[in-house]
A and B are shown apart, each in its own frame.
Chain A
Amino acid sequence: MQIKPILAALRKHRIATVLIAMEIALACAVLCNACFLIATRLQLTQVNSGVDESALAVLKVSGFDMDKPGDLNARMVAGLRAVPGVQSASVVNTVSFGEQGGNAGITLDRAGKQQGGVVGFYTGGPGSFEALGLQLVSGRAPQADDFQPMAAFVPNDSQVIVSRTLAEHLWPGQDPLGKEFWCDTYHFRVVGVVAHMARPGTGEGGTGTIEWSVFVPAQPGPNLAGTYLLRADPKDLSRVLRDAKAAVAKIAPDMVLDHGASRTIGDLRSDYFRQDRVMAGMLVGVITALLLVTALGIVGLASFWVQQRRRQIGIRRAIGATRGDILRYFQIENFLIVTSGIALGMLLAYALNLVLMQHYELPRLPLYYLPVGALMLWALGQLAVLGPALRAAAVPPVVATRSV
């Protein structure tokens, strides 16, 4: 099949050709970036929190002075442990996907010169570390005397557990055990590293810092009260949480149960990512509509061309072209147009990605999205043109003899 006559024919329809090519180019740019957005959103929802989500729930009460919780923690922990099915109850400041706990910038030296980034702090009372089910990869779990009383944010001097991601960020290539860091005057020493530990919310650095978190063992008391971590058999969990909520009215009748924050971690997780899922769903809808519209455009124009060229097709058939030749002619023509559109579209996709990177903290578009997008558009073009091309191939040679 010669390409030259096809190009010559396209030159006669310059505007229509350019239009379709432009449409393909725009579609290519939007398609690549939208797919990439979907992938980043979905990847975000896959974050590994590092805790036994299916076995954990959180219960929150408010209506007391954070500075003077009195015997609230003792009453609550004892009361919650008495709820049938509760395997453990402990005091925490927050949980994964729960309310923002402590976010603070840390430094790697006492003077506060060497910044370490803004990290998320979990503070937890005795029993909470075991209950969370965090998987230690080196070092040790907090021991009884690591749980020190705290006055404000965290204890003044604590032995902490960090996530592997944070350890690699702070001390790349070094053994993190025994390393120290500071937050203002608070001092921390790393005694353990866990495989995964996601912070309650994304930090200032965007999604890349989701695992920058620290677990600080602390004695429940002022500023560590009111939020309780429950562990139960995953099968029983929702029943246990319901009973525990009901029990609060007896354990602490003077407190206000925070219904919105008292959930299983699974529910909190699903809520946390709802917006991302909605956005991903919307993007899928847009892509579908986009491909559909593009295909319709190709079908419309190809049909027009087929009708316009009926006589020429008849003549070609009359002088020996097979049906296959005619079919291939339209297929190759479409391939050429789509290819030029894709070439332009790749540049556009890249430019669009640069704009998105600037405004939405999106990473760079991985290059393999471009050939995948191109393949999709080629396939779409061929599918769309198939109908009109088959109709063209069905034009009988006798058309050539009708009307001059």
Chain B
Amino acid sequence: MLAYYLDLALRSLKRNKMLTALMVLAIAVGIGASMTTLTVMHLLSGDPLPGRSQHLFYPQVDPSPDPNPRHQPFDMMDYRSAMDLWSAHRADRQALIARATLKLRAPEVSQPPLMVRTLATTTDFFPMFDAPFRYGQGWNADDDAQRARVAVISDDLNRKLFGGADSVGRTLRLKDSDVRIVGVLAPWRPSPVFYDVAGGRFSNGDTASFYGKPEDVLMPFNTGQDVNADGFDVFTCWSTGGSKQLQSSPCVWVSLWVQLDSAAKVREYAGFLAGYSTQQKTLGRFVHADNTKLHSLMQWLDFNRVVPSDVRLQAWLAFAFLAICLFNTVGLLLAKFLRRAGEIGVRRALGATRRAVFAQCLVEAGLLGLLGGVGGWLLTMVGLWLISRQPVEYADLAHLDASMFVTTFVLAVVVSLLAGALPALRASRVAPGLQLKTL
């Protein structure tokens, strides 16, 4: 039966090529626009660590003396709070993170010095965030404790300096200190660079920078303190006075990520965080005792509204556009089906049920959707190609993965069936007698 309906649908579509082309074009343009933006949304709002993200948490405490009870905790922590929480080792895994841009020279290769973005972190960083190694491996807890002068470098930097060869054991000069390479990461492109996300709510929706590349040099947290002393990137300060030394300054610049493998551990850690905060208030260091937060990774990304507002705006726009295309297709299908009222009347008179007429019309609509889907897929590829040429950080991420490929066709067919339902219903209600009379 379906084959027969398909044959009928093809004949009908061929009869008025112009109208068919218009409808296919309308669906294709609508699908192309919405799938392009939807794919970008999908790429940017996806889980950067599928399967692990639900175990990763971002603790926050509030060292601010601001008495306002509605004060939000800062997006990062001061050195002392972060170190206290880290040293307690209450989580399954935990990593401190601080960032800095440092001058780098490779004494063994003749290249001019360059500025690289570096990360000072702790040994759990690599297993916790699934950072893949190409050569060597990360440092261990002893290296953290003994302030070992070691580093892990990115695949990008390894290509730039050493042409992609195994550079484990080589030396880099960071600022004025030498560090030995112990590991080289394989290409790694978490999107967004979730462990660096902070301050998103202050960026007016301009959050494309979260989708840049991970840092080029990673070294033990304490080594970073030795190499770079007070040169780390500061998120903000709650007072301009105080110590010049970053470690004792009234500034927040360290993030802590913890891995908590069960719900019980999450509760326990939240309790520990609250306890720490209360204790610090007793000591007179905190004003807000109850202002602690323990966002999960995805919650933290949502809180920072990581998907750039332009991207969301484009998606809304594309769907409004799809809706208009849908209305358009409904109108055209209505015209097309009712124009064939005579033919339908004959079919009904020969014994076809209303259901059969309805099904036949829907098959035709679905076929249109499929054709529109092919056009929409091509237009989506064009749209993504255009996006990949934009000067935005996430440009190189733009591609159509399998799930979005399937979604394109599903969306096209669903949209066209939706558009076809009403006209098909009207067509199936055609009174056979009336039509036969006018033939």
With a cutoff of 8 Å between Cβ atoms, the chain B residues found around residue A15 in the complex are 334, 422, 426
Number of A-B contacts (CB under 8 A): 124
Q: Is residue B314 within 8 Å, beta carbon to beta carbon, of the partner chain? A: yes
With a cutoff of 8 Å between Cβ atoms, the chain B residues found around residue A63 in the complex are 103, 113, 115
Q: Is residue B247 within 8 Å, beta carbon to beta carbon, of the partner chain? A: no
* Contact surface of A with B, Cβ cutoff 8 Å: 15-16, 19-20, 22-23, 26-27, 29-30, 34, 37, 62-67, 152-153, 183-186, 202, 204, 206, 256, 258, 271, 274-275, 278-279, 282-283, 286, 289-290, 293-294, 296-297, 300-301, 303-304, 307-308, 356, 359-361
Cβ contact within 8 Å between B335 and A62: no
Cβ contact within 8 Å between B328 and A296: yes
Q: Which of B22, B310, B328 contacts A275 (CB 8 A)?
A: B310
Please name the residue on chain B nearest to A260 by beta carbon: B115
Q: Which of B19, B29, B101, B309 contacts A289 (CB 8 A)?
A: B29
| B202 CB to nearest A CB, Å | 6
Interchain Cβ contacts under 8 Å between A and B, 15 examples: A15-B334, A16-B331, A16-B335, A23-B327, A26-B320, A29-B320, A30-B320, A62-B103, A66-B231, A202-B204, A275-B310, A301-B331, A301-B334, A307-B339, A360-B313
Cβ contact within 8 Å between A297 and B241: no
| B67 CB to nearest A CB, Å | 12
Q: Which of B204, B327, B422, B426 contacts A297 (CB 8 A)?
A: B327
Cβ contact within 8 Å between A286 and B317: yes
Indicate with 1 or 0, residue by residue over B377-401, a CB within 8 angstroms of chain A CB atoms.
0000000000000111000000000
Q: Which of B19, B231, B426 contacts A65 (CB 8 A)?
A: B231
Leading 6 A-B pairs by shortest Cβ distance: A304-B335, A63-B103, A297-B328, A23-B327, A184-B240, A300-B332
With a cutoff of 8 Å between Cβ atoms, the chain B residues found around residue A152 in the complex are 240
Cβ contact within 8 Å between B331 and A23: yes
Cβ contact within 8 Å between B324 and A294: yes
Cβ contact within 8 Å between B29 and A293: yes
With a cutoff of 8 Å between Cβ atoms, the chain A residues found around residue B241 in the complex are 184-185
With a cutoff of 8 Å between Cβ atoms, the chain A residues found around residue B33 in the complex are 286, 289
With a cutoff of 8 Å between Cβ atoms, the chain A residues found around residue B432 in the complex are none
| B288 CB to nearest A CB, Å | 18
Cβ contact within 8 Å between B392 and A275: yes
* Contact surface of B with A, Cβ cutoff 8 Å: 19, 22, 26, 29-30, 33, 101, 103, 112-115, 202, 204-205, 208, 230-231, 239-241, 309-310, 312-314, 317-318, 320-321, 323-325, 327-328, 330-332, 334-336, 338-339, 390-392, 422, 426
Cβ contact within 8 Å between A360 and B317: no
With a cutoff of 8 Å between Cβ atoms, the chain A residues found around residue B313 in the complex are 37, 279, 356, 360
Given A16-B335, A307-B339, 5 more A-B residue pairs with CB atoms under 8 Å apart are A186-B240, A275-B392, A282-B314, A300-B22, A360-B205
| A359 CB to nearest B CB, Å | 7
With a cutoff of 8 Å between Cβ atoms, the chain B residues found around residue A275 in the complex are 208, 310, 391-392
Q: Which of B19, B202, B239 contacts A204 (CB 8 A)?
A: B202
With a cutoff of 8 Å between Cβ atoms, the chain A residues found around residue B323 in the complex are 26
| B26 CB to nearest A CB, Å | 5
Cβ contact within 8 Å between B202 and A301: no
Cβ contact within 8 Å between A22 and B327: yes
A29 to B327 Cα, complex, angstroms: 14
Cβ contact within 8 Å between A67 and B331: no
Given contacts A186-B240, A206-B204, A300-B22, whether A19 and B324 have CB atoms under 8 Å apart is no
Please name the residue on chain A nearest to B330 by beta carbon: A19
Please name the residue on chain B nearest to A61 by beta carbon: B115
A290 to B422 Cα, complex, angstroms: 23
With a cutoff of 8 Å between Cβ atoms, the chain B residues found around residue A301 in the complex are 331-332, 334-335
Cβ contact within 8 Å between B309 and A359: yes
With a cutoff of 8 Å between Cβ atoms, the chain A residues found around residue B334 in the complex are 15-16, 19, 301, 304
| A341 CB to nearest B CB, Å | 10
Given contacts A15-B426, A30-B320, A301-B335, whether A296 and B327 have CB atoms under 8 Å apart is no
A333 to B374 Cα, complex, angstroms: 36
Q: Which of A19, A65, A279, A356 contacts B327 (CB 8 A)?
A: A19
Q: Which of B318, B332, B390, B392 counts the most A-chain CB atoms under 10 A from its CB?
A: B332
A63 to B230 Cα, complex, angstroms: 14
A282 to B339 Cα, complex, angstroms: 37
Q: Which of B205, B240, B426 counts the most A-chain CB atoms under 10 A from its CB?
A: B240
With a cutoff of 8 Å between Cβ atoms, the chain A residues found around residue B324 in the complex are 23, 26-27, 30, 290, 293-294
Q: Which of B19, B30, B318 contacts A300 (CB 8 A)?
A: B19
Cβ contact within 8 Å between A185 and B240: yes
A306 to B390 Cα, complex, angstroms: 46
| A9 CB to nearest B CB, Å | 15
Cβ contact within 8 Å between A274 and B391: yes
A26 to B113 Cα, complex, angstroms: 57
Cβ contact within 8 Å between A293 and B26: yes
Cβ contact within 8 Å between A300 and B335: yes
A108 to B26 Cα, complex, angstroms: 58
| A292 CB to nearest B CB, Å | 9
A275 to B208 Cα, complex, angstroms: 11
Cβ contact within 8 Å between B240 and A297: no
Please name the residue on chain A nearest to B30 by beta carbon: A293
A22 to B323 Cα, complex, angstroms: 10
With a cutoff of 8 Å between Cβ atoms, the chain A residues found around residue B113 in the complex are 63, 256
A202 to B328 Cα, complex, angstroms: 40
Please name the residue on chain B nearest to A302 by beta carbon: B335
Cβ contact within 8 Å between B205 and A293: no
Cβ contact within 8 Å between A294 and B335: no
